Homo-oligomer: A and B are copies of this chain.
Amino acid sequence: MSRPRILVINPNSNQLVTQGLEQALKPLGFEGGPEIVCETLTEGPYGIESQADVDGVAMPLRRLVEGDNHSAAFVIACYSDPGLHVCREATDRPVFGIAECGVLTALARAETFGVIAIAQRSIRRHVRYLRQMGLMDRLTRERPLNMSVAETASGEGTLAKMIEVGRALKDEDGSGAIVMGCAGMARHRRPLEQALGIPVIDPTQAAVTMALGTVQFSHH
């Protein structure tokens, strides 16, 4: 019998991001556990930075989900959770959004959480989404790196900047945990956590963890 599959969809068309997800999720690839497959939405933009980028991938994501008869669960790996509800409408199988799962996992670790965004312009969208989820009460603040997605992915100064912003979230804003507000920051999670001394949540890892539990408990 084949292993159930968790499909992690990178809604942008940047293959390097998808490869980064594969790397970041390896610790959940258990023998005897679900297969975790990362896939690029080829119709997606190179990066998801604007509302148009977010809304533009909703229906392509749905088509991908509808056309998939194999996967046991889906994870949409973009911190704006594009198309989450329209994908859930398309299937009875579970669909997870990494923003929602990232925040929910932070709430399981600490009294309060802060968020590191890449760009200032995303914060208003993220906060609107937190309000939609009813999860504002324990948010301290979201602060931006003020870097482009590209800079964040490749730049050498990224970790240093994340530590600086994370310290402000912890010390000035009183955050007890940090959510990294982007799908492409996973390799910085451990050094950031060590530098800050509080839990740091990678949202894709958080979502795939929840997906793994869901799949395991419905197949055994």
Residues of A within 8 A of B (CB): 26-28, 30-33, 50-52, 54-56, 58-59, 62, 83, 85-86, 88-90, 94, 96-97, 100-101, 104-105, 107-109, 111-112, 124-125, 127-129, 131-135, 137-138, 174, 176, 189-190, 193, 199, 202, 205-210, 212-214, 216-220
Residue of B nearest to A105 (CB): B210
Q: Chain B residues near A138 (CB, 8 Å)?
A: 133-134
Bound Cα distance A205, B97 (Å): 20
Bound Cα distance A62, B52 (Å): 8
CB distance from A31 to the nearest CB of B (A): 5
The main secondary structure of chain A at its interface with chain B is helix
Tell me whether A105 and B107 are in contact in the complex, defined as CB-CB below 8 angstroms, given that A30-B32, A89-B51, A205-B213 are known contacts: no
Q: Chain B residues near A128 (CB, 8 Å)?
A: 85, 111, 132
> Judging by beta carbons under 8 Å apart, are A94 and B109 in contact?
yes
Bound Cα distance A132, B85 (Å): 14
CB distance from A44 to the nearest CB of B (A): 13
Which of B62, B135, B137 lies in contact with A55, CB distance below 8 A? B62
> Judging by beta carbons under 8 Å apart, are A189 and B176 in contact?
no
Which of B56, B137, B218 lies in contact with A190, CB distance below 8 A? B218
CB distance from A121 to the nearest CB of B (A): 9
